[in-house]
Amino acid sequence: MAKIIIDEPILLTGTSNPQLAEAIGKLVGVPVSYPVTVFADKEIRVRVQPNMRQRTVFILQTTSNPGNDRIMELIFMADAARRGSASEIIAIIPYFGYSRQDRKEMPRVPISSSVVVTMLANAGIDRIITVDIHSQQQQGFTQKPWDNLFGSYVIIPVIKERNLSDLVIASPDKGGILQATAYAKFLDAKEIAVVYKKRDITLNDVSNALAMIGDVKGRDVLIVDDIISTGGTIVNAAKHLKKNGAKSVRVTATHGIFAEDALEQIDNSGIDEVIITDSIAPSEKISSHPKITIVSVAPLLAEAIRRIRTGESISSLIF
């Protein structure tokens, strides 16, 4: 007899980004379940209320700082779904923690991102959905299907509202050139600038912008990056762009971590505006910051869920 799949999906979320889960739940018409609590000794406890038997279970969990607990919540929710006989377990991970540790860049270091992916696959996750994963090759860390969506789907319309006619797209390092090129295409920008960034791999979070190529004199510049952590990369890049005559400097990055004194650094920089998404739940300080605009990825993720349920292609969300 053919396997019977009941089309009543379940949407679970951990503690990382309940606002985003609610926004997605509303858009797809599925109530959000919150199965995570903690014991007195701070161990994570997961108990899912709805019946998951033969249902597709979507688990929304961003794994940003403190990433380790969030990863454990995700693994425990997936294990509960597997033991509860879910037909398919789909992890939606808008920001994938550890994704910058995606290669062995010096001797005697782990490939931490690969370790995390292996743990997720072992917990029973059948499919992964991310937004702007730091490097796309990470999809090869598992044999499971992995759809990486692009934040540009929701960011580009907001940039277009700024009516920047003589726009230059800037990549703050050589690794970001492909993403910058895609933004240039969508925004009809004729020029791309690249800042040359040097990172000392023996130190954590230390980088320097040393030079740049491209003509930005008298023009509006949009720096495109995937992550803002300490803010060092974008602040240093903005310094170079301003020194070379940029009229205005905006930044867009999908994931706003804002570690340490990143907000203060941005305050004191020549950056006019920073556009991020809510892939990581923004604190009150971030959402009320005068230079920061937050665009929700809820419509993008809801559309991906809808297409997965109907069996439609999601490649038009990707390309």
Tokens 């992964």 sit at which residue? Answer: 128
* Cβ-proximal residues to 133 (8 Å cutoff; 6+ apart), any chain: 96, 99, 139, 148
Q: Is 134 exposed, middle or buried (0-12, 13-18, 19+ CB in 10 A)?
A: buried
Whichever of 58 and 258 has its CB closer to ligand R5P, that residue is 258
Member of 82, 100, 291, 306 binding ligand R5P (CB under 6 A): 100
Q: What is the DSSP letter of 100?
A: T
Q: Is 110 exposed, middle or buried (0-12, 13-18, 19+ CB in 10 A)?
A: exposed
Whichever of 25 and 172 has its CB closer to ligand R5P, that residue is 172
Member of 61, 229, 244, 277 binding ligand R5P (CB under 6 A): 229
Give how many residues touch ligand R5P by CB under 6 A.
16
Q: What's the N-to-C CA distance of the chain in angstroms?
A: 39
Q: Tell me the pairing of strands 36-38 and 44-46.
A: antiparallel
Binding mask 155-194 for ligand R5P (x = CB under 6 A): -----------------xx-xx------------------
Binding mask 53-92 for ligand R5P (x = CB under 6 A): ----------------------------------------
Residue 226 near residue 132, CB atoms below 8 Å:
yes
* Cβ-proximal residues to 288 (8 Å cutoff; 6+ apart), any chain: none
Is residue 197 part of the annotated active site? The answer reads yes
Whichever of 33 and 171 has its CB closer to ligand R5P, that residue is 171
Whichever of 230 and 293 has its CB closer to ligand R5P, that residue is 230
Q: How far is the CB of 100 from ligand R5P (least distance, A)?
A: 6
Member of 35, 97, 232, 256 binding ligand R5P (CB under 6 A): 232
Tokens 């910051």 sit at which residue? Answer: 289
Q: Tell me the pairing of strands 32-33 and 10-13.
A: parallel
Among the listed residues 26, 104, 160, 197, the single catalytic one is 197
Whichever of 147 and 225 has its CB closer to ligand R5P, that residue is 225
Among the listed ranges 77-85, 157-165, 229-237, 308-316, the one in contact with ligand R5P (CB under 6 A) is 229-237
Of 82, 81, 88, 76, which is closest to residue 15 (Cα–Cα)? Answer: 76
Interacting residue ranges for ligand R5P, rule: CB under 6 A? 100, 172-173, 175-176, 205, 207, 225-233
Q: Which residues are catalytic?
A: 197
